[in-house]
Amino acid sequence: MAVMALAAAALVPAGEAMAAPQQKACDTRTNNTYTKLLECIRLDEVREHQAALQAIADANGGNRFSGTPGYDASAAYVAERLEAAGYDVEIQTFDYLAFEVVGPSTLQQIAPNPTTYVEGVDFGVITQSDPGDVTAPVTPVDLQLGLGNTSTSGCDASDWVGFPAGHIALLQRGTCTFELKAENAAAAGAVGIVIFNQGDTADPSRQGIPAVTLTANNTSGIPVLGTTYALGAQLAGTPGLVMRVFANTLRQILPTSNVIAEKTGVNDDNVVMAGAHLDSVLAGPGINDNGSGTAAILEAAEQLAKLNPQNTLRFAFWGAEESGLVGSTNYVNGLSQAEKDRIALYLNFDMVGSPNYIFMVYDGDQSSFPPPAGVPIPDGSVAIEDIFESFYTLRGEPYDDTQFSGRSDYQAFILNGIPAGGLFTGAEVPKTAEQAAIWGGTVGAQFDPCYHEACDTFANNNDHALDVNADAIAFAILTYAYSTESVNGVPGRKVPGNFQIPAPAGPEGTFVP
């Protein structure tokens, strides 16, 4: 316990335990120990990167959407900072199918009992829906209602036997991807889709409008709107239903890029990757989503620039994440198997400073959540979860698990057997009373009240969450820069200094100090 106490004192944020080190010292020295590195991971510097991204958005129509001038300027900013720090930087260009919401969409019940539903309350356009405005009869497809249901609606060929071409398909979330449901519907002759949440649990994320994507691979060619579970169940029981489905979207091919920066290590066949998506949605500048992850790993990279790492360090800033994880998926799928095998692990940081935050770690051991869609989580992911939980334990910060849900850029890595992990402070899900009792904040408000909104600005931030997580990110990268033995069995060196990483507090799940 004495060793842990001394170590914890050494790793208290510099502004709380000592005068901030001189800028010159951090810029010139080699930050090769935990204490030296964390002294130089300063909240003000992380916020400076976020301020730069805000200024870029302000000068480019209020957003940094991939394929627009705002994104290109963001990529140039990141590349220039990394080149100045001495990294080998590659701008990896690619074309992608961009998705854009042009204006309000419409969902109307034409018969019986004409009703116009409210966008954002009853329904929303599904990301990557094709544009379209159709009015037609509605046919439900293989629905299961009620708590505990195991819906596979629209996933199987047998679901579509006898489906009347020219109808709108009423589908339910569950089992397979939204993209597959849409593709199957189009193949069966559907002219539009209304898809409602699964409602298998009382969790708001399974009851509200699905916050999901069809992905950029969607080729269904028909409009797709999502509704709450309650509205979907109501529509399912309405005989003679005729509806209007209008998705007010635009989809087009745009050029964009990933920014990849590398520092070669002694063992260049063992690569440690850390990444964050650089793009915002069209609605706003994206300073938490994901200027927070971008800024934190950019600052870590700059402060590690003079390190002589045992393992090669590679930092990735992904394009087109908001349009379906396109940049990271293109990157991983474009690697040869030999190149994939060189990657020891991937660390993902998407939203790490949410205003109404809780501290969450990707659930590598699946103690709280099953793997996404039955995809096995690579074994080394457990060790990555442990390193972040150990850091929170060291700082006396409560933490909980978050699911490997496939919602961010780690997806392509775990699908290819590469161990992954990372941090998350929450998006559109409301905070519970139990969570507020542990982390403070506002009960019933979203973890990020400005998620995918114009108000995701420089002000949309929690300093404490961002400060702690910036340190946690740097701590993990430095650890793996020296050794990934706990993840993939490749031996390395210990981080210099007299320091022992504590075990995570508790068995698994939430730790309350």
For residues 139 and 137, what is the distance between their CA atoms, to the nearest angstrom?
Answer: 7
For 289-354, the DSSP string reads TTHHHHHHHHHHHHHTTT---SEEEEEEEESSGGGTSHHHHHHHHTS-HHHHHHEEEEEEES----
Counting Cβ atoms within 10 Å, is residue 409 exposed (0-12), middle (13-18) or buried (19+)? buried
For residues 265 and 192, what is the distance between their CA atoms, to the nearest angstrom?
Answer: 52
* Residue closest to 98 by CA, chosen among 321, 378, 351, 261: 321
Considering the candidates 183, 262, 302, 321, report the single residue annotated as catalytic: 321
Q: How far apart are the first and last CA of the chain?
A: 15
93-121 burial: b if 16+ Cβ within 10 Å, else e:
ebebbbbbbeeebbbebeeeeeeebebee
Place of tokens 């379209």: 132
Structure tokens at 482: 């020296």
Strands 267-277 and 343-349 come out as parallel
**How far are the Cα atoms of 103, 202, 214, 312, 419 from residue 270, in angstroms, in the given order?**
47, 44, 34, 6, 13
8 Å CB contact between 37 and 474: yes
8 Å CB contact between 465 and 293: no
For residues 486 and 294, what is the distance between their CA atoms, to the nearest angstrom?
Answer: 26
For residues 414 and 192, what is the distance between their CA atoms, to the nearest angstrom?
Answer: 33
Q: Is 321 a catalytic residue?
A: yes
Strand partners, 271: 312, 343
SS3 243: strand
For residue 210, the Cα-to-chain-centroid distance in whole angstroms is: 16
Structure tokens at 261: 């920066």
Instruction: Tell me which residues are annotated as active site.
Output: 321
